[in-house]
Amino acid sequence: MPKEGITPRAQDYSQWYLDIVRGADMADYAEVVRGCIVFKPTGYAIWEAMQRGLDDRIKATGHVNAYFPLLIPKSFLMREADHVEGFAPEVAEVTRAGGEELAEPYVIRPTSETIIGYFYAKWIRSWRDLPLLINQWANVMRWELRTRPFLRTTEFLWQEGHTVHATHDEAERETLLVLNEIYADFVEKEMALPVIKGLKTAKETFAGALRSYALEAMMQDGRALQTATSHNLGQNFAKAFDITFSDQHNSIQHAWTTSWGISTRLIGALIMAHSDDEGLIIPPRLAPIQVVVVPIYKNDAEHSAVLAAVERISAEWRGRLRFKIDDRDHLTPGFKYNEWELKGIPIRVEVGPKDIEKGSVAVARRDMPGKAGKSFIQQAGLLAHLERLLAEIQQGLYDRALRFREEHTYEATNYDELKIGVERGFVRCYWAGTTEDEQRIQDETKATIRVIPLEQPDQAGACVLTGEMTTQQVIFARAY
């Protein structure tokens, strides 16, 4: 029986997603501000955990944080031809400030390559100033027509890295280092979400980039979600903003830049990859609360005894795991179980008078609803058991998502097979088509080439559309 208020996934995936967001109290629609949401405490705490995991990796790979202005002179967008085409239609413009009309409007940053490029041009003089490895945590705004909580909102939160290098190869190495050591490592280890790393086709490349790399993950409806992008911008922005340096031979060169970002979209990916018809499921490493303890009692005497036992049992947990004792007195245990299931807390520990007698507790796994995930555990050694269980749940979620992706990835050797495959999941196939072919397939199937995977086959094969022999395989999928 599905949980009250949650539409089953199988019935309406899209409505299920919105029900989880509401049921877990993660966000509210900001109906008075077009396309925005409020990140409520439960949703924002997940973003804070993501920020910590990402920021640690960003710093461990030699980057430092800084902060650049929210507003960008509108003319800056125009300096890079592809960039303006990509972003100008969806910017919000500040035209009045301090009670006066502005001579030149500002746009609220949709991304910061232009404003940061302007400053980098001022700061960089010599090869000794390179590489410059800066990241920014910020809000950005893109006036999208169709929005959806977390997945696509006019304002969203993200980090954007912007680096400058002396050579193309160094910029390329940075682009891939970020993709592998920051993003893929984070998404796979912390979010428990397997990713396919790859290059975007020309059609899907970032506006102004030489090459865009991305991570693609499969959601439970078989669609792809791009969880991170990392762009080698070549010399495009360096030329538009005159970012030059004097090299070791005192010759002035244009620099090579990169940019890379990951956003609050990840919260949407987290929901869609792991959750079930009971509510949200948060991987233990990202869970703001990993273990919730629900005391069970019928009268005041039991209440005191049980709370004392809970305090005693959990005394050694502090600093070892993140937990909460739900001692709200006006709610039934059943109501609390339901609420913490909806909110995706990995483990629930129940302690009642009988448990005290037996020296045990009941432990329920969120990733295995019902009896399958419930067991009675001795209080002695409980902490070690919970720590093992959290690791097991983390790995189990990853394994389950990987198995799901493998079961929903199809090899296609012709267009008919491709069409059937993208109805169900990812299609892996040889590809030698043009951008026009890619567009035609999108128009006909709603699927796009998500990536040209970094891992490619040894052997050639026939292009799924043209039959031409090629060694290049791609992933087609419908995407969020």
Enumerate residues 153-172 that contact a copy of itself by CB under 8 A. 155, 157
Nearest to 88 by CA among 72, 104, 70: 72
Which has the closest alpha carbon to 349: 328, 315, 377?
377
Residue type, 198: G
> Does residue 292 bind a copy of itself (CB under 8 A)?
no
Q: Reduced to 3 states, what is the DSSP secondary structure of residue 23?
A: helix
Contact status: 48 vs a copy of itself (CB under 8 A) = yes
Q: At what angle do helices 13-23 and 265-274 cross, to 10 degrees?
A: 110
Among 10, 15, 33, 391, contact with a copy of itself (rule: CB under 8 A): 33
How near is the Cβ of 76 to a copy of itself at its closest, in Å? 8
Q: Note whether 85 binds a copy of itself by CB under 8 A.
A: no
Task: Give the nearer residue to a copy of itself in terms of CB position, either 13 or 323.
Answer: 323
> According to the binding rule CB under 8 A, does residue 143 interact with a copy of itself?
yes
Can you tell me which of 92, 121, 305, 462 binds a copy of itself, judged by CB under 8 A?
92
* Continuous segment of H or E residues that includes residue 274: helix 265-274
Amino acid at 245: F
Using a 10 angstrom Cβ sphere, with 0-12 exposed, 13-18 middle and 19 or more buried, the burial of residue 419 is middle
Please select the residue that binds a copy of itself; options are 91, 225, 310, 475, rule is CB under 8 A: 91
Question: Among 8, 28, 452, 470, which residue sits at the site for a copy of itself (rule: CB under 8 A)?
Answer: 28
- Rounded distance between C-alpha atoms, residue 257 and residue 136, angstroms: 15
Shortest separation between residue 311's beta carbon and a copy of itself, angstroms: 19
Residue among 29 and 297 whose Cβ is closer to a copy of itself: 29
Report the nearest approach of a copy of itself to the CB of residue 331 (Å): 10
Helix axes 265-274, 382-407, angle to 10 degrees: 90
Nearer to a copy of itself, 20 or 49 (CB): 49
Pairwise CA distance, residues 169 & 173, whole Å: 6
CA torsion sign for 117, 480, 394, 177 is negative
Q: Is 38 in the site for a copy of itself (CB under 8 A)?
A: yes
Residues numbered 219-258 forming contacts with a copy of itself, rule: CB under 8 A: none
* β-bridge pairing 409-411 and 426-430: parallel
Can you give the binding site for a copy of itself, defined by CB under 8 A? 28, 30, 32-34, 36-41, 44-45, 47-48, 64-73, 76, 89-99, 105-106, 108, 115, 118-119, 122-123, 128, 134, 138-139, 141, 143, 145, 155, 157, 330
